[in-house]
């Protein structure tokens, strides 16, 4: 049963009164594929700097459904050993609530030669088809059957066959899935037009450290030599910092803080966002593993236009926080969301708060600013828009209520405690 907690937020009415330091957690989108990769190992391994977020509970449910357990050792440290897996079915409830459950399909099918999973659910940002996955498994010699909302996939003789796959879209989780499928396939797998997000680079480095043979890291073409189960041999995976948390906090700091230090992050994963905010007039100090926003000399930011694009282009996951920023910037801007057809649906809520946003189609919106926002009741449809509404509520005058906080908890651990510490008046009301 999904919790229906709420946030009650008192708006700052454009006063930049937050201040202090906020630490960035480990990246959700790095932990998910590395945890799924445990299915490819003959031994267990430890993962550190794991964010305490709702998606961790979904991971736990998926592993329990497979007959194994993710063991929490310390805060942020987990141990996983999948040698005793006794099922090839991905748990339905968890899969319905987390699209990324699909990353388990490659490792399970590669190791056991069969797989059962439901059509995954998750963030409501578009249709989110899975054709790249089903076509890829068929190209690797598997047979796909579908009935009653579940997929039944089987290989002929228990093994996937290495092959060449050209992704018609550089999908992040499809890239991760077929990298892992190729590791236990017979022969070589060549993947073309792959995604190159930092979380994928980190996954490949981890897998190669543990015996995989993956060539081409960071380029659009990967070559994976099929082999046997991997071995961690007591190596530990250290989760990379979450560039989406860091970017979200940077935008929050620019709009609501006199000064804000964003620690334990990797600015090199956020170059385009930092550059565009700096060009807009935000005073950002870029350190090796921190960012500092300084708003001592208050001035209006200049509007700018964005077009979301696969990494290293402008991240679709920071589109909604950036739109909130643009409602407060001087001038008119165009936002072109090229990745998901449903990821601008939330703008009607910002208009309800007083923003001047015009939708041209499901991919394009123009924003005129600055416009004063006033608090109201908001429901976040996905993780990142949920946080964008927190930023909008803090920018606005008066009180806002944000429902469906479950989505925010999926990607931002203990967020109300972390924001309270830098001066935000935000309370969680448990349902
Ligand atoms: C990953 O989702 C991220 N999730 C998303 O972050 C992120 O928004 C997205 O990549 C884009 O950067 C994780 O890494 C766990 P895609 P993913 O497949 O892999 C289409 C967050 O908030 N497509 O790269 O599911 C798809 O519809 C989440 O942390 C197909 O057409 O996204 C989309 O238009 C939200 N067929 C485009 O590709 C397929 O089989 C890119 O999606 C698969 C995808």
Q: Examine the domain organization and report whether 278 and 132 are in the same domain.
A: no
Check pLDDT > 80 for residue 269: yes
Q: Strand 290-294 relative to strand 283-286: parallel, antiparallel, unpaired?
A: antiparallel
Count of Cβ atoms closer than 10 Å to residue 324 Cβ: 28
Q: Examine the domain organization and report whether 205 and 279 are in the same domain.
A: no
171 lines ligand 1 (CB under 6 A): yes
Q: What angle do CA 316, 239, 95 make, to 5 degrees?
A: 60
Q: Examine the domain organization and report whether 18 and 71 are in the same domain.
A: no
Distance, CA 240 to ligand 1 centroid (Å)? 19
Mean pLDDT over residues 3-16, rounded? 93
Check pLDDT > 70 for residue 172: yes
Atom number of ligand 1 nearest to Cα 130: 40
Q: With H, G, I as helix, E, B as strand and everything else as coil, classify residue 114.
A: strand
429 membership: H or E segment, kind and range? strand 426-429
Q: pTM of the entire structure?
A: 0.97
- CA-wise closest residue to 232 among 426, 97, 25, 48: 48
Give the whole-number percent of the chain exceeding pLDDT 90. Answer: 93
Check pLDDT > 80 for residue 2: no
Atom number of ligand 1 nearest to Cα 103: 15
Residue 22 near residue 61, CB atoms below 8 Å: no
Q: Report the number of distinct structural domains present in the chain.
A: 2
Which one-letter DSSP state was computed for residue 131? H
- Can you tell me the distance from the alpha carbon of 285 to that of 260, in angstroms, rounded to the nearest whole number? 10
Distance, CA 384 to ligand 1 centroid (Å)? 13
| Segment 20-40, tens digit of pLDDT | 999 999 999 999 999 999 999
Q: Examine the domain organization and report whether 122 and 208 are in the same domain.
A: yes
Q: Examine the domain organization and report whether 276 and 215 are in the same domain.
A: no
The answer as to whether 170 is a domain residue is: yes
Give the whole-number percent of the chain exceeding pLDDT 70. Answer: 100
Rounded to 5 degrees, what are φ and ψ at 40?
Answer: -90, 0
Find the CATH number of the domain harbouring 33. 3.65.10.10
| Segment 104-125, tens digit of pLDDT | 999 999 999 999 999 998 888 8
| Segment 305-355, tens digit of pLDDT | 999 999 999 999 999 999 999 999 999 999 999 999 999 999 999 999 999
Q: Where does the pLDDT of residue 4 fall: very low under 50, low under 70, confident under 90, or very high at 90 and above?
A: confident
Measured CA distances, 8 to 15, 331, 355, 408, 431 (Å): 18, 31, 20, 14, 13
Q: Where does the pLDDT of residue 381 fall: very low under 50, low under 70, confident under 90, or very high at 90 and above?
A: confident
Query: For ligand 1, atom 1, which residue shows the shortest CA distance?
Result: 172
According to the model, what pLDDT value does residue 1 have?
Answer: 57
Q: Examine the domain organization and report whether 405 and 261 are in the same domain.
A: yes
Q: Strand 331-336 relative to strand 356-361: parallel, antiparallel, unpaired?
A: unpaired
Atom number of ligand 1 nearest to Cα 195: 24
Atom number of ligand 1 nearest to Cα 170: 24
Tell me: cis bond preceding 370? Omega within 30 of 0 counts.
Answer: yes
* Ligand 1 pocket test, candidate residues 172, 338, 411, most atoms within 8 A of CB: 172
Q: With H, G, I as helix, E, B as strand and everything else as coil, classify residue 135.
A: helix
The answer as to whether 211 is a domain residue is: yes
| Segment 38-92, tens digit of pLDDT | 999 999 999 999 999 999 999 999 999 999 999 999 989 999 999 999 999 999 9
Mean pLDDT for the chain overall: 96
* Ligand 1 pocket test, candidate residues 119, 173, 385, most atoms within 8 A of CB: 173
Check pLDDT > 70 for residue 218: yes
- Can you tell me the distance from the alpha carbon of 429 to that of 410, in angstroms, rounded to the nearest whole number? 17
Annotated catalytic residues are: 123
- Can you tell me the distance from the alpha carbon of 422 to that of 247, in angstroms, rounded to the nearest whole number? 17
Measured CA distances, 75 to 71, 78, 121, 210 (Å): 11, 8, 28, 25
Mean pLDDT over residues 3-27, rounded? 95
121 lines ligand 1 (CB under 6 A): no
| Lateral strand order in the sheet of 45-48 | 70-74, 77-80, 45-48, 236-238
Q: Examine the domain organization and report whether 124 and 191 are in the same domain.
A: yes
Which of 121-125, 194-198, 213-217, 403-407 is predicted least confidently? 121-125
Domain range for 299 is: 6-25+241-429
């Amino acid at each position: 049963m999904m919790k229906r907690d709420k946030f009650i937020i008192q708006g700052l009415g454009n006063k930049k009164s937050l201040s202090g330091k906020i630490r960035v957690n480990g990246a959700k989108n790095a932990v998910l594929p590395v945890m799924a990769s445990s299915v490819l190992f003959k031994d267990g391994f430890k993962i550190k700097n794991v964010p305490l977020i709702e998606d961790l509970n979904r991971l736990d449910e998926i592993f329990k459904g497979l007959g194994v357990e993710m063991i929490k050792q310390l805060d942020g440290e987990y141990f996983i050993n999948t040698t005793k897996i006794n099922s090839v079915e991905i748990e339905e409830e968890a899969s319905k609530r987390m699209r990324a459950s699909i990353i388990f399909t490659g490792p399970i099918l590669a190791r056991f030669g069969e797989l059962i999973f439901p059509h995954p659910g998750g963030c409501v940002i578009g249709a989110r088809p899975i054709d790249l996955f089903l076509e890829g498994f068929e190209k690797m010699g598997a047979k796909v059957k579908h009935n009653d909302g579940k997929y039944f996939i089987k290989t002929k003789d228990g093994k996937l066959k290495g092959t060449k796959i050209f992704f018609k879209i550089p999908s992040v989780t499809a890239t991760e899935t077929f990298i892992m499928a190729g590791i236990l396939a017979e022969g070589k797998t060549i993947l073309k037009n792959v995604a190159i997000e930092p979380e994928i680079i980190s996954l490949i480095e981890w897998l190669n450290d543990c015996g995989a043979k993956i060539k081409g890291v960071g380029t659009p073409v990967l070559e994976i030599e099929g082999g046997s189960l991997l071995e961690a041999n007591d190596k530990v995976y250290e989760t990379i910092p979450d560039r989406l948390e860091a970017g979200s906090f940077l935008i929050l700091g620019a709009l609501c803080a006199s000064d804000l230090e964003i620690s334990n992050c990797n600015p090199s994963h956020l170059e385009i966002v930092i550059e565009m905010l700096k060009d807009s007039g935000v005073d950002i100090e870029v350190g090796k593993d921190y960012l500092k926003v300084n708003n001592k000399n208050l001035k209006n930011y200049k509007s700018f236009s964005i077009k979301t694009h696969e990494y290293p282009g402008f991240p679709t996951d920071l589109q909604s926080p950036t739109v909130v920023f643009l409602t407060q910037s001087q001038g008119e801007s165009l936002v072109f969301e090229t990745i998901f057809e449903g990821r601008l649906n939330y703008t009607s809520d910002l208009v309800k708060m007083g923003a001047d946003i015009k939708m041209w189609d499901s991919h394009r919106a123009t924003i005129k600013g600055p416009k004063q926002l006033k608090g109201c009741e908001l429901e976040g449809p996905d993780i990142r828009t949920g946080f964008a509404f927190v930023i909008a509520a803090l920018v606005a005058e008066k009180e806002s209520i944000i429902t469906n906080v479950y989505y925010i908890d999926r990607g931002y651990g203990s967020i109300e405690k972390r924001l309270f510490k830098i001066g935000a008046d935000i309370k969680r009301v448990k349902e």
